[in-house]
Amino acid sequence: MKEHSDMAPESLVVHAGVEENEHLAVVPPIYQTSTFAFDSAEQGAALFAGERKGYIYSRMGNPTVEGLEKSIAALEGGYAGLACGSGMAAIHTTFAVLLQAGDHLICSDAVYGPTCTLVETILPRFGIECTVMNTSDLAAVEQTMRPNTKVIYIETPGNPTLVISDLEAVCELAHRLGAKVVVDNTFMTPILQQPFRWGVDVVVHSLTKFLNGHADVVGGIIVVQDEAQYATFRKTLNQLGGVLAPFESFLVHRGIKTLALRMQRHCENAAPVAEFLEQHSAVEWVRFPGLKSHPQYEIARKQMSGPGGIIAFGLKGGIDAGRKMMNAIKFCGLAVSLGGVETLIQHPPSMTHASMGAEARRRANISDGLVRISVGIENVKDIIADLEQALAAAGTRATTVSKPA
Ligand code: LCS
């Protein structure tokens, strides 16, 4: 494998984790196998005892999956990655490693809906106390910390409101009071934000989004910072079993080769779309980290090297106007998920964040009229033209949408 410690991110995406192989294939083969044969009974026993390195069984390790794990660990500046069957599997495995009965978790309220549901409904069944709150309000986070607070879990920018938490400040606070910080870096990818630089302990991703980028894989990854942490996470992931398959790993690793180019284009396209929406008379408010109107614009500039491709906005006329607009969309796709090459539009309150319930959405500022766009890499003129005609179809009516705080 090429030495990649000095490579820039644009080179790492192409080369990291691409292992040399028997035939010097430029693209390593897919090890589409569930199990690996032993040379002898003694060698099999030595592998199981950890006395020899090698592959045993694909839930425990597979060269194709490892290539992907090395690639993302290198991009994040971490020690190692652990690929999981979905983003939710990565999040759940992380909680299973870091928390036990009697511990307290603080979770940002601006997170993917099922993450919030996991924290509020499943973890308490295992004796873990959870507080879901606005982690961009540091004073409130400090007041909420308890002696048994072991983890602060953050998505930044958060899904779907794009609220931003100050990673450096949260880490300083958490570490001072004996807690670890876990960050879901899905919206940014390591191209735009490297949480370890700000002191974060564990990074998780949904690979389903920008990292894969082609809307054809569901996957997740955990990235950790040292060997001891890696051993614990690997053991737990092996026992819980939510690993990623070789073919999916191959596809994501292939997608990552264009990650730097794609993220640049997502940012370049999203900025004019956000500006277009902000000046449109039918639009009540827009949240996009690249707009000066974003409440945490300065924090975004400090910890992110680009605004990303996700925009949230509210229409005058609220939910009815939003529904009409989405039904009038022709070029963009009306679908959940995000981070693919194609532009997608969806309505979080009735779709991705429906499972949270109305009260949790109100707390997280997810108003009924909120619409989310994942801006793709197409020609931005086509995206704006489609939004323009769909907004015209929605019409402007009396204001019923309140602007998020
Ligand atoms: N983290 C974030 C920030 C996400 O947006 C998602 C999925 C997940 C984790 C979970 O990842 P998965 O298990 O789906 O790979 N977000 C979705 C969304 O906004 N629309 O559809 C899925």
pLDDT at 319: 84
- Rounded (5°) CA angle 77-78-79: 130
Last residue of a domain, one of 224, 256, 288: 256
Q: Calculate helix-pair angle for 318-328, 380-394, nearest 10 degrees.
A: 130
- Centroid of ligand 1 to alpha carbon of 366 (angstroms): 16
pLDDT at 402: 46
Same-domain pairing of 266 and 153: no
Which residues lie closer than 8 Å to 128 by C-beta, 6 or more apart? 95, 99, 100, 101, 102, 103, 104, 105
Same-domain pairing of 234 and 355: no
- Residue 390: give its domain's CATH number: 3.90.1150.10
DSSP structure string for 119-171: IIIIGGGGT-EEEEE-TT-HHHHHHH--TTEEEEEEESSPTTT-----HHHHH
Of all protein residues, whose CA lies closest to atom 12 belonging to ligand 1? 87
For the beta carbon of residue 355, count every other beta carbon within 10 angstroms.
16
- Centroid of ligand 1 to alpha carbon of 60 (angstroms): 25
Of all protein residues, whose CA lies closest to atom 2 belonging to ligand 1? 112
- Centroid of ligand 1 to alpha carbon of 208 (angstroms): 7
Beta bridge partners of 334: 345
Q: Are 78 and 223 in contact (CB under 8 A)?
A: yes
Name the catalytic one among 70, 109, 112, 230: 112
Same-domain pairing of 298 and 239: no
d(CA 102, CA 252): 37
d(CA 323, CA 313): 13
The residue to which tokens 């090698």 are assigned: 54
Q: Residue 256 corresponds to which amino acid?
A: I
pLDDT at 401: 43
Same-domain pairing of 231 and 87: yes
Residue-wise pLDDT for 288-316, tens only, equals 999 999 999 999 999 999 999 999 999 98
Q: Which of 208, 334, 355, 356 to mutate to test the pocket of ligand 1 (most atoms within 8 A of CB)?
A: 208
Same-domain pairing of 348 and 370: yes
209 is catalytic: yes
The residue to which tokens 């539009």 are assigned: 345
195: its two tokens? 């949480």
Same-domain pairing of 308 and 273: yes
Q: E strand or H helix at 312, and its extent?
A: strand 310-315
User: Which residues contact ligand 1 via a Cβ below 6 A?
Assistant: 86-88, 112, 155, 159, 184, 186-187, 206, 208, 218, 220, 336-338, 352
Does residue 402 fall inside a structural domain? no
What is the chain's pLDDT, residue by residue, as a tens digit (405 residues)?
A: 556 778 999 999 999 999 988 899 999 999 999 999 999 999 999 999 999 999 999 999 999 999 999 999 999 999 999 999 999 999 999 999 999 999 999 999 999 999 999 999 999 999 999 999 999 999 999 999 999 999 999 999 999 999 999 999 999 999 999 999 999 999 999 999 999 999 999 999 999 999 999 999 999 999 999 999 999 999 999 999 999 999 999 999 999 999 999 999 999 999 999 999 999 999 999 999 999 999 999 999 999 999 999 999 999 888 888 889 999 999 999 999 999 999 999 999 889 898 888 898 998 899 988 999 999 999 999 999 999 999 998 875 434 444 555
Does residue 4 fall inside a structural domain? no
Long-range contacts (CB closer than 8 Å, 24 or more residues apart) made by 206-209: 206/86, 206/87, 206/88, 206/90, 206/112, 207/83, 207/87, 207/244, 207/252, 208/86, 208/87, 208/337, 208/339, 209/87, 209/337, 209/338, 209/339, 209/340
Beta bridge partners of 286: 313
Structural domain boundaries enclosing 283: 260-394
53 is catalytic: no
Residue-wise pLDDT for 36-62, tens only, equals 999 999 999 999 999 999 999 999 999
Same-domain pairing of 239 and 217: yes
Q: What is the pTM for the complete model shown?
A: 0.96
Last residue of a domain, one of 208, 237, 256: 256
Q: Are 303 and 168 in contact (CB under 8 A)?
A: yes
Same-domain pairing of 252 and 311: no
d(CA 62, CA 83): 11
Q: Which of 94, 209, 216, 243 to mutate to test the pocket of ligand 1 (most atoms within 8 A of CB)?
A: 209
Beta bridge partners of 314: 285, 370
Q: Which atom of ligand 1 is nearest to the CA of 186?
A: 3
Same-domain pairing of 196 and 297: no
Please confirm whether the linkage preceding 289 is cis (ω < 30° from 0): no
d(CA 32, CA 19): 16
365: its two tokens? 């500022």
d(CA 376, CA 212): 13
d(CA 9, CA 143): 38
Count of structural domains, the chain: 2
